[in-house]
Chains A and B, each alone.
Chain A
Amino acid sequence: MVEQIDLTQVNWARAQFALTAMYHWIFVPLTLGLSFLVAFFESIYVRTGNEEWKRLTKFWMTLFGINFAIGVATGIIMEFEFGTNWSNYSWMVGDIFGAPLAVEGIFAFFLEATFFAVMFFGWNRVSKGFHLFSTWMVAIGSNLSALWILVANGWMQFPTGMQFNPDTARFEMENFWAILFSPVAISKFTHATSSGFLLGSLFVVGISCWYLLQERHQTMAKRSIIVASVFGLLSATYVGFTGDEAAYTVAQKQPMKLAAMEGLYDGQTSAPLVAAGLINSSKLPGDNQQPFAMEIKIPGLLSLLANRDPGSFVPGINDLVFGNRQQHIIGAQEKIEKGKIALELLRTYKESRKSGDQAIADASLKAFGDYQGNMGYGYLNSPSEAVPPVGITFYAFHIMVVTGAIFPLVLLLILFFQIKGNLASHRWLLYLGILCVPLGYVSQQAGWVLAEVGRQPWAIYGLLPVKVANSNLTSGTVMTTFFLFLGIFTLLLIAEISILAKQINIGPEEN
């Protein structure tokens, strides 16, 4: 199927996608969270009629707008990049993957685009009620767009609701609802959006803490802190639950990713969770080296996390690569052999169809049916290729969890002292509140690194490796666009941060 694979080109294409996705995700979670916070603030304004709340709303709305614009700019490239850089992917799964993107456009983007203008320019043009409605529509629209793209991503992690069609050489949709309500899609959506709410809250709290330290706009800062820390705490709780659910679905649907997340090479019953560790980077599947240079373990916790049973067996990388008869695990080695047979049968089928040899075509198609489940593995050259980069996956997971655990504690303390009325005198806590803003961004990025690096080598888990999903381009071409995007996004990011910092420094309009 693939004559020659230009790995350099594939890696540049991966780098370009990672670059655009990571830049895009700097802005998206803030949009998801801040849009709701602005809607809360404005609701309070409309309820109370207090002009202070209106000024507060407008201030956060200004920051929202600055962030939103660059989110849109970095977003458009993502949609088209599936076609430009991953055209084989687009063809093979377009029948399934295209639909959520189109639905996203119809249902979500137009809500945002239409009501955004009202939110910013409608203060004197529409009624108070309609303005508030528009602000809510922007928040709902933003989060709805996250739904559809995360459904699409969920499907890449756990393909379901489709069938391979050998005549068109692509996967075709069989059940729309199975794709929409796939457990992975649900946990992706709930986890990613609630983490966005949390980031939005940290952003508002952090900037408010800075005002308190500066002794400026203190009333506004305190009001913002109350609303945002309550929202942030609720979100953080939800992030915890959905994170647990996400880990569970990973364990059930992507055991290799889970093994890499935990650096678990040899599967075991009552598997411990590595709370912190230093990965041994020279360790390879099947060798005798220790996976960690040092580690802190919590007994039985990984089994509990993975299977909701502390005594259960969690497969390790070696089990998944070489197989484990005792635990009825088929290894990548065996899957590769079957996959190569599937690809060969598909080729024979296509060739005999072309030459009009119907009998051979029928026979190879029938046999193909028995092997097609492992077709994706047929593209791999060695079983260890089925293992994602363990170090990056492990660290990304742990950075996400550790930072994620700090946020609710800080928010709780800030809320507690705010209610007690002496938050401003705890300067260390205010500094901590500010520090949580960059940490929030780190946590967000780590989450996606885990999701996507942990999915390697697959574009579609188990079905299509990234190295055959790409477009037929030269590496020079992709390298050029990579640096083009790196340049423009970096310029725009500097502009965004500069404008944002200036607006924060100016602060809300004073009465």
Chain B
Amino acid sequence: MIGNLDYSTLQHIWWIIASLVGSLFLFLTFVQGGQTLLFTVPRDDDEKALIINSLGRKWELTFTTLVLFGGALFAAFPKFYATSFGGAYWVWMLILFTFIIQAVSYEYRKKPLNFLGSTTYEAFLFVNGSVGILLIGAAVGTFFTGSSFSLNDYNQVTWQTPYRGLEAAKNLFNLSLGLFLVFNARVLGAMYLVNNIDHKTLTDRCRKSAWKSFLWSLPFLLYVLANLLFMKGYARNPETGEIFLQSGKYLQNLLGNPATLALLLLGLLLVIYAVAITCFKGKNNGIWFGGIGTVLVGLAVFFLAGFNNTAFYPSSYDLQSSLTIYNASSSHYTLTAMTYVALSVPFVLAYIAYVWRQMDSKRLTIAELKSENAEEMY
């Protein structure tokens, strides 16, 4: 059956898969959000250790999802990979840099003779959670605001600014999206810790923190949504493939595709519901509603950018260099082969879920951190 799918269907399927991986990553940024709480929420070393050990059992999932997001885009939309990574060089390099320093920090923070000192590794985690997520948000913002690049006949990219992508952070829309993601990650992080840790005074503080971060996220969210509804969008003429600027393009996409609208509204409601039950009802399972809500909002945002004849990686400098799911994708053969591979994704999700349940059936306590396996704890 997969072998008979036409090219356009495969391109749509792969945009959905890439969007799903990207949105799952946004859910899993609860790790990064949690990392930004390290300097404010815990009151002593034990509480800090609880937070780090709780996040430390999940950070690799987030990291791996980011890597898979990159790999999936490389395989399915190589022109995006080549254009954006090679073009917006600095923004990606800095994002990667924050993930490099994250990867060692859990393991090395508490080990004797760790050369840089515990505080440095904690600062690494904070930078990853704040700067890293902010820049990722700004980079995703350019899916709507566009970047300054052109492609030649051989699809080689020339970037038009010396800032190589960092200019994205000067745009209020991109910046707001980035800041929204940072605060949303903090909300998710706090809700995850509430769910994962058995320590009342600490989790009470997490609940308060979730509420505060949620309030902080609202102005940025509203700014992004209001702009999305009214901004000009990069539309593609389905007959000629030509790209042109269209007023209210994303509003049209939203109204033209009720599923996207439903995803967006349901997602936002779920996040609000999650915050409400976590902060005011004393529930521990907010992370699941908030996480799924984030995934749905993420899907809606990516669908707005990519579907309905829209350029998902537009060039504001040279409209015709803009990337769409049609002109940026891999060949029919590769997309078909990769679709077979993608059939294994539900299996992967299943074993991750199974292991997660096995590992998190008991909540983390200070007693466990000091148990016979203490030397293995982060």
Tell whether, in the assembled complex, residue B359 and residue A495 are in contact, meaning their CB atoms are under 8 Å apart.
no
A463-511: which residues lie under 8 A (CB-CB) from chain B? 471-473, 477, 481, 484, 488, 491-492, 494-496, 498-499, 501-503, 506, 509
Stretch at the interface among A171-179, A228-236, A378-386: A171-179
Q: Is A405 an interface residue (CB 8 A)?
A: no
**Which of B53, B82, B106 has a CB less than 8 Å from the CB of A94?**
B82
Tell whether, in the assembled complex, residue B331 and residue A173 are in contact, meaning their CB atoms are under 8 Å apart.
yes
A56-95: which residues lie under 8 A (CB-CB) from chain B? 58, 62, 65-66, 68-70, 72-74, 76-77, 79-80, 82-88, 90-91, 94-95
- Complex CA–CA separation, A395 to B201 (angstroms): 63
- Complex CA–CA separation, A506 to B375 (angstroms): 12
Q: Map CB proximity to B onto A120-147 as digits: 1 under 8 Å, 0 otherwise.
A: 1111111000100010000000000000
- List of A residues within 8 angstroms of B246 by Cβ: none
Closest A residue by C-beta to B79: A91
Q: Is A305 an interface residue (CB 8 A)?
A: no
- List of B residues within 8 angstroms of A72 by Cβ: 60, 63, 103
Q: Is A1 an interface residue (CB 8 A)?
A: yes
- Complex CA–CA separation, A141 to B331 (angstroms): 29
Known: A98-B71, A498-B113. A121 touches B376 (CB 8 A): yes
- A177 CB to closest chain B CB, in angstroms? 9
- A486 CB to closest chain B CB, in angstroms? 13
Tell whether, in the assembled complex, residue A114 and residue B104 are in contact, meaning their CB atoms are under 8 Å apart.
no
Closest A residue by C-beta to B87: A87
Q: Is A113 an interface residue (CB 8 A)?
A: yes
Q: Is B157 an interface residue (CB 8 A)?
A: yes
- Complex CA–CA separation, A499 to B104 (angstroms): 12
- List of B residues within 8 angstroms of A502 by Cβ: 111-113
Q: Is A101 an interface residue (CB 8 A)?
A: yes
Stretch at the interface among A102-110, A203-211, A281-289: A102-110
B273-304: which residues lie under 8 A (CB-CB) from chain A? none
- Complex CA–CA separation, A509 to B345 (angstroms): 40
Q: Map CB proximity to A onto B54-82 as digits: 1 under 8 Å, 0 otherwise.
A: 00011011011011101111111011011
- A135 CB to closest chain B CB, in angstroms? 13
Closest B residue by C-beta to A85: B86
**Which of A109, A114, A126 has a CB less than 8 Å from the CB of B68?**
A109
Q: Is B158 an interface residue (CB 8 A)?
A: yes
Chain A interface category by residue count? 35 or more
Closest A residue by C-beta to B53: A121
Tell whether, in the assembled complex, residue B112 and residue A499 are in contact, meaning their CB atoms are under 8 Å apart.
yes
**Which of A65, A90, A169 has a CB less than 8 Å from the CB of B74?**
A90
Closest A residue by C-beta to B149: A472
Tell whether, in the assembled complex, residue B92 and residue A125 are in contact, meaning their CB atoms are under 8 Å apart.
no
Tell whether, in the assembled complex, residue B358 and residue A125 are in contact, meaning their CB atoms are under 8 Å apart.
yes
- Complex CA–CA separation, A415 to B220 (angstroms): 66
- A76 CB to closest chain B CB, in angstroms? 5
- Complex CA–CA separation, A87 to B99 (angstroms): 21
Known: A79-B71, A87-B86. A107 touches B344 (CB 8 A): yes
Tell whether, in the assembled complex, residue A170 and residue B155 are in contact, meaning their CB atoms are under 8 Å apart.
yes
Closest A residue by C-beta to B92: A84
Closest A residue by C-beta to B121: A495
Tell whether, in the assembled complex, residue B93 and residue A69 are in contact, meaning their CB atoms are under 8 Å apart.
no
Q: Is B237 an interface residue (CB 8 A)?
A: no
- A96 CB to closest chain B CB, in angstroms? 7
Known: A94-B330, A117-B359, A121-B376. A87 touches B82 (CB 8 A): yes
Known: A62-B375, A125-B358, A471-B157. A98 touches B78 (CB 8 A): yes
- Complex CA–CA separation, A84 to B82 (angstroms): 7
Tell whether, in the assembled complex, residue A110 and residue B352 are in contact, meaning their CB atoms are under 8 Å apart.
yes
- List of B residues within 8 angstroms of A94 by Cβ: 74-75, 78-79, 81-82, 330
Listed by A's residue number, 7 A-B pairs whose Cβ atoms lie within 8 Å are A70-B103, A84-B93, A88-B86, A109-B67, A117-B57, A484-B97, A491-B115
11 further contact pairs, Cβ within 8 A, besides A103-B75, A117-B359, A176-B337:
A72-B60, A74-B100, A76-B103, A80-B70, A91-B78, A98-B74, A99-B330, A104-B71, A106-B348, A122-B359, A501-B113
Q: What residues make up the interface of A, taking CB atoms closer than 8 Å to B?
A: 1-2, 58, 62, 65-66, 68-70, 72-74, 76-77, 79-80, 82-88, 90-91, 94-99, 101-107, 109-110, 112-118, 120-126, 130, 134, 165, 168-170, 172-174, 176, 350, 354, 471-473, 477, 481, 484, 488, 491-492, 494-496, 498-499, 501-503, 506, 509
